[in-house]
Amino acid sequence: MHALIFGGNGRIARAMTRLLLARAWTVTSIIRNPQQGPGILALGRGQPGDIHVLQYDLRDLKTAQDAETLFNRTGATCAVFAAGSFSNPYAIDRDAAKAAIAAATSLPSVTKFLMISFPASRRKPAPWWNSRDIADYTSERAAYPDIGDAKIQADEYLVAMANPRRARGGGGQHAHAHAHGPPFQAISLRPTWLTTGRATGRVSIGETRALGQVSIEDVAAVAVEMLGREDVSGWFDLVAGDVEIQEAVDSVVQGAVDCIEGEDVEAIYKLAD
Ligand SMILES: NC(=O)c1ccc[n+]([C@@H]2O[C@H](COP(=O)([O-])OP(=O)(O)OC[C@H]3O[C@@H](n4cnc5c(N)ncnc54)[C@H](OP(=O)(O)O)[C@@H]3O)[C@@H](O)[C@H]2O)c1
Ligand SMILES: *[C@@H]1O[C@H](CO)[C@@H](O)[C@H](O)[C@H]1NC(C)=O
């Protein structure tokens, strides 16, 4: 597999890059500053996978065609959107993400899309939250209104665009109705506040509290575990916890957990182009 990582110099992105390369994936890391190149390429040293960098300012990623060009040039089969901008969330977290989503869901060669979001990216309090969680969600939404708004629109757009793609089927030479390609995986991984602590290898995924902490290394490990499988799709809230990562991912898949529960999914489907 070949992952194209938007926001490749980010903290989660760099941790994911190392783990993907260790699993012998190819990674193309999109960065905006060429000075970041050597540091990214160094992540591939001694690893079985291949690493490439591609310089591109995500403010220029405006249309599906812009993003298609990146997928076609690289031959990537998987997209990871790990970029984010406090100063410009509508241009990056929403518009660049939507361009990447539109391209990934329209190209039969791309079969996975993983977005890094956060648990407050939802329009209604989650059904499993208590009153404390709801208060935390409300104050987080109020503290970061634009980022929240941008992220939720990108999360919803991924769900909307993946829905007809799933019906059409996926890759290979049979990319028409009832195709035999792998199913399209649309994953919104939603870690709470990030910490720089070491990997613990243990987390809590799914119907978690609204607020907490989780280490960047553990987030990356969960993301890579999800991308390593063919059967993970949906919204997954993520906090520090005590379940071993592989087991935690397996358990949300077996339990058909999807943190989109409680949102108006039919209305979200209508947001597809
Ligand atoms: N901080 C938290 O506690 C938290 C919690 C949950 C979710 N999240 C979300 O998780 C995601 C990843 O988090 P993180 O801490 O890994 O993020 P990060 O380290 O801030 O990385 C974000 C990346 O986006 C890149 N970027 C921003 N504008 C760009 C542009 N115009 N062109 C190209 N690249 C651009 C940045 O590039 P440069 O390196 O060049 O600046 C940076 O590498 C973010 O979307 C964030 O909102 C964060
Ligand atoms: C990318 O490749 C696909 C499939 O070959 C093609 O249909 C599409 O036009 C290409 N897009 C761009 C922008 O080159």
For the chain, the domains span 2-269
pLDDT of 174 reads: 45
Residue closest by Cα to atom 24 of ligand 1: 83
For the CA atoms of 131, 137, 139, 143, what is the dihedral angle to 10 degrees?
180
Alpha helices in 75-172 (DSSP H): 97-106, 131-143, 145-168
pLDDT of 181 reads: 60
Regions in the chain scoring below 70 on pLDDT:
169-182
**Ligand 1 close to Cβ of residue 57 (< 6 A):** yes
Q: What is the pTM of this model?
A: 0.96
Q: Which residues line ligand 2 (CB under 6 A)?
A: 65, 68-69, 72, 107
Q: Closest-lying ligand to the alpha carbon of 217? A: 1
Signed CA dihedral, 212, 121, 55, 27: sign only: positive
User: How many helical (H) and strand (E) elements, i.e. helices and strands, does the chain have?
Assistant: 9, 11
Degrees, nearest 5: CA angle 123-229-40: 85
From the CA of 86, give the closest atom in ligand 1.
47
Cβ-proximal residues to 228 (8 Å cutoff; 6+ apart), any chain:
23
pLDDT of 170 reads: 60
Burial (CB count within 10 angstroms: exposed 0-12, middle 13-18, buried 19+), residue 86? exposed
Task: Tell me how far apart the alpha carbons of residues 221 and 18 are, in angstroms, rounded to a whole number.
Answer: 10
**Ligand 1 close to Cβ of residue 7 (< 6 A):** yes
Its CATH class, for the domain covering 2-269, is alpha beta
Q: Which residue has the tokens 């998987």?
A: 78
pLDDT of 148 reads: 97
Residue closest by Cα to atom 9 of ligand 2: 68
pLDDT of 168 reads: 80
Burial (CB count within 10 angstroms: exposed 0-12, middle 13-18, buried 19+), residue 157? buried
**Ligand 1 close to Cβ of residue 116 (< 6 A):** yes
